[in-house]
Amino acid sequence: MEGNLSDSEREQLMQNLKQQIAVANTQELLVKMTEKCFKKCILKPGTTLDSTEQKCLAMCMDRYIDSFNLVSRAYGDRIQRERNRM
């Protein structure tokens, strides 16, 4: 079927796939971050968060996002280097 697609259709398909992958990655990031930070910061769940829990969650989420961004940039750089070799 791909052989029947025009260049613009192929490009649109690739853009759609990239967007779907980005959404899936973001969803996975949020799920993992929530799970890990909750386990780390909320020792005794209740109806509200105290200031210590709020601070812990904020710092945990910041570090998790920083780490995710660092890994994503490194991965993107690696892919770019591989493409340049071809």
DSSP states of the chain as a string? -GGG--HHHHHHHHHHHHHHHHHHHHHHHHHHHHHHHHHHH-SS--SS--HHHHHHHHHHHHHHHHHHHHHHHHHHHHHHHHHHH-
We report the CATH number of the domain holding residue 46 as 1.10.287.810
Q: Is the pLDDT of residue 86 over 80?
A: no
Q: Is the pLDDT of residue 6 over 90?
A: no
pLDDT by residue (tens digit) across 13-61? Answer: 988 998 999 899 889 989 999 999 999 999 888 899 999 999 999 999 9
Residue 58 lies in a domain: yes
Q: How many domains does the chain have?
A: 1
Q: What is the pTM of this model?
A: 0.66
Please report the pLDDT score of residue 2 as a whole number: 52
What's the gap between Cα 9 and its chain centre? 27
Please report the pLDDT score of residue 3 as a whole number: 65
Residue 47 lies in a domain: yes
